[in-house]
Amino acid sequence: MDDDVFYRPLGTDRYQPTLCAQGPWDPAHQYGGAVAALLAHAAEKSPPPGFLPIRATCDFLGPVPMDTVTVTTRVVRQGRSLWLVEAELGADGATRARFAGWWSRSTPPPPPGASDETEVPPLPPAVPHPRPPFGYLRASERRFVRGEFLEPGPAFAWIRTHVPLTPESDHSALTGVLMNADMGSGISAVVDWNRFAFANVDLTVHLHRQAAGSWTGLDAVSEIGDQGTGVTRTVLWDEKGRIGTASQALFVRAR
């Protein structure tokens, strides 16, 4: 089958996407969350043990074709307390995405943090759905606490991914969050999917705690102005509580 992983390695720094990596707007292009996760997977090999991701940004420079991609990384800062690693994804001779991630040294015992007594939204029971129309939706499961995919407005959904990123690597805490967080703009859409495209040009995740477990909670709100621009803001959760935030800048156009 061609949907049991997101990417198949083809040798050093080269990957072939499978149907799992297919995006929502065009079956010939990859899903942004998969691209961000692949770049994070390459970048997170650089920091030594004991460093934790605190910020990850992926800029999408253009549609990524469903074809072989190359991934390169470089360490920008290599310090005792902080590392900054960048990664680029190329396809068809052009750079299609750029990633930058900050890692901070873990400091046990951790300094005391503000208490978070907010109740964790419960995980709803599974509801059967028709086979989804594009790759990432087929490779993941969504359970809505509030809202629904085609229901306009804010939404809270628990999302998990069923298949590993590559045959040799399952999702890390960071790649799993990035893979799912890119759906924030989709679950909280405020315009008609059939009449408008509202693609995000970036995905930025800030983490104050590392994710635990396979489920990512997305509490997402999208706002769109009157000049074709918008933004999605998402509070990220795991089953223990809040873990951080995500943001996406949107451009909006009629289909």
Q: What is the mean pLDDT of residues 124-144?
A: 81
Nearest-Å Rg of the Cα atoms of the chain is 18
Confidence of residue 178 (pLDDT cuts 50, 70, 90): very high
At 232, list the tokens. 């999605």
Cβ–Cβ < 8 Å for 54, 102: yes
Angle (CA) 61 92 64, round 5°: 40
Evaluate the CA torsion angle 115, 121, 123, 129 in order and state its sign: negative
Q: What is the mean pLDDT of residues 9-13?
A: 92
pLDDT of residue 131: 62
Cβ–Cβ < 8 Å for 68, 74: no
From residue 133, alpha-carbon distances to 29, 35, 102, 185 in Å are: 14, 19, 35, 17
Residue 55, H or E segment: strand 51-60
Cβ–Cβ < 8 Å for 66, 30: yes
Distance CA 113, CA 215 (A): 23
Angle (CA) 116 117 121, round 5°: 100
Q: What is the mean pLDDT of residues 12-29?
A: 91
Confidence of residue 195 (pLDDT cuts 50, 70, 90): confident
Is this prediction's pTM over 0.85?
A: yes
Phi, psi angles (nearest 5°) of residue 53: -70, 135
Q: Which amino acid is at 188?
A: S
Tracing tokens 């419960």 back to the chain, one arrives at 122
The mean predicted confidence, pLDDT, of the chain is 92
pLDDT in tens, 62-77: 999 999 999 999 999 9
